[in-house]
Amino acid sequence: MRVAVVGAGLGGLTAAHAIRRFAGERGRALELEVWDANDRPGGQLFSVREDGFVVEWAANAFRTGVGPTADLLARLGLQAEQVHADPAANRRYVFHGGRLHLLPSDPISLLNFAPMSPEGRLRVLAEPFLTHRVGDEESVFDYAARHIGPEAAEVLLGTMVRGIYGGDARKLSVDAAFPIMREMERDHGSLVVAGLAGMQKRMRERKTTWSFRGGMRTLVDRLAEELGDALRLDTAAAVLSAEAAGGFRLRAADGDERPFDAVVLALHPAAAAGLVAPLDTEAARELAGIPNAPIGMVAMAFARDALRTPPDGFGFLVAPSEDLRVLGILIESNVFPGRAPDGTVLVRAIMGGVDDPGFDDRSDADIEAIALDAVDRAWGLATAPLRTWVGRQGRGIPQYVIGHHARLARIEGRLARFGGLHLAGNAYRGIAVGKLVDDAEVVASAVWGAAAAG
């Protein structure tokens, strides 16, 4: 079977890897090509290694225990490269009311959590007695307000949604963006009971936070190395057409044209929409309708004494009510010691999000100034950074808004009529690294399942 994977971000690389593995396990012949418009693989996922610093462009870590991600790393022989997050970095903060507060990790610390009123804190603890189940899809905010009250929904969940998706808790679907929360409700009724039942603790024990000595690029480089000649960089897919007798033709921007039995579009949905449009305008319209939040980052290296208060723990997220124009700041050299030379601190401000739609138009100098202002207000800045890196993720982070699952089902229903056309990447079934690895198995199954059916 001839298979093309279009897009060599993590979604495309892991899908290609799984498709090839499935072929080996089934004893099936495979001609695989992976195309990417860029001159390097990895898409958003990229690590710069300079002067003893390891600076991430997108994910700085992934969570894994037993499961597909651990299996993939074992197959790739990457265990020796893995580094575990420092347990001291479990301490996370929220910027609220102009200063940092340690996020509560248990009922006692919640009772002392100043960003919420005493009534709001008690409302969280009363959750097991007040909650009721709702069957329909709802927003993250509505779900959280029903469980832990509107104040905690705003301060805790609103902040988390900004930190992970750059998104708005009132718009994102809890079912699509945080399915684990629906599972907790289904299994325990109450989130507090789920916590007390030790569910979170068991989950933490099973899944822990990891990266690689040389940053997340280690994973990308290894996956690309495995693909060998199958990976074609500087190869943008320009036109996709369906053959009357079944199968597809893909034309690259340089005019090169190839036939394939199956095509996996592992692109941002707007780019996928452009390729799908000649085949099915409705599917293209639906793909183009998946919203995204612009995202960028400023990494900053400081001499250790440049910050008046030593940055503690993992870093902080910014509550939606605050005027700090960053979504959060990660203290990279705390989470993974070895990311910065001795005597220095490496932090990374994540910026943009749905609340800052003009982010892409800001100059590098502007976003660097915003990042430094946030550092100054959080920890106090005595001297300028030793150096900075500015990174932008043009396509940003897809937003799984209310109706996401229904939209995806409609798109997949329409594409299924072509037999052999599949979607991969972070716009559909999960944005996190581990979710993309899980999804690669689903995509490979669909590719070979469709092949068996054909």
Ligand X SMILES: Cc1cc2nc3c(=O)[nH]c(=O)nc-3n(C[C@H](O)[C@H](O)[C@H](O)COP(=O)(O)OP(=O)(O)OC[C@H]3O[C@@H](n4cnc5c(N)ncnc54)[C@H](O)[C@@H]3O)c2cc1C
Cα–Cα distance for residue pair 436/433, rounded to 1 Å:
5
- Which range touches ligand X (CB under 6 A), out of 114-122, 179-187, 357-365, 392-400? 392-400
Q: How far is CA 292 from each of CA 321, 353, 392, rounded to the nearest angstrom?
A: 21, 8, 14
Out of 83, 295, 324, 331, which residue is the one contacting ligand X (CB under 6 A)? 295
Q: Binding to ligand X by residue 60, rule CB under 6 A?
A: yes
Out of 19, 20, 34, 43, which residue is the one contacting ligand X (CB under 6 A)? 43
Q: Which is nearer to ligand X, 60 or 334 (CB)?
A: 60
Q: Are 234 and 253 a contacting pair, CB within 8 Å? A: no
Q: HSE (CB half, 13 Å, CA atoms) of 138?
A: 14
CB of 252 to ligand X, least distance (A): 8
Site string for ligand X, 320-359 (x = CB under 6 A): ------------------------------x---------
- Which range touches ligand X (CB under 6 A), out of 106-114, 141-149, 358-366, 423-431? 423-431
Out of 21, 38, 78, 125, which residue is the one contacting ligand X (CB under 6 A)? 38
Q: Binding to ligand X by residue 44, rule CB under 6 A?
A: yes
Using CB under 6 A, which residues numbered 119 to 178 contact ligand X?
Answer: none
Q: Which of 267, 240, 262, 237 is nearest to 427 (CA)?
A: 267
Q: Binding to ligand X by residue 263, rule CB under 6 A?
A: no
Q: Which of 288, 218, 270, 282 is nearest to 7 (CA)?
A: 270
Q: Which is nearer to ligand X, 224 or 307 (CB)?
A: 224
Residue appearing with tokens 């462009």:
57
Q: Which residues pair with 210 in a beta bridge?
A: 62, 84
Cα–Cα distance for residue pair 1/259, rounded to 1 Å:
11
Cα–Cα distance for residue pair 268/288, rounded to 1 Å:
9
- Binning the chain into helix, strand and coil, the percentages to the nearest 5 are 45, 25, 35
The residue type of 452 is A
Out of 3, 8, 34, 55, which residue is the one contacting ligand X (CB under 6 A)? 8
CA dihedral 88, 161, 174, 189 (to 10 degrees): 40
- SS3 label, residue 83: strand
Q: Which is nearer to ligand X, 44 or 218 (CB)?
A: 44
CB of 335 to ligand X, least distance (A): 10
Using CB under 6 A, which residues numbered 233 to 262 contact ligand X?
Answer: 236-237
Q: Binding to ligand X by residue 18, rule CB under 6 A?
A: no
CB of 20 to ligand X, least distance (A): 17
Out of 160, 230, 271, 402, which residue is the one contacting ligand X (CB under 6 A)? 271
The residue ranges that bind ligand X (CB under 6 A) are 6-12, 35-38, 43-45, 58-62, 236-237, 266-268, 271, 295, 297, 350, 393, 395, 397, 425-426, 431-433
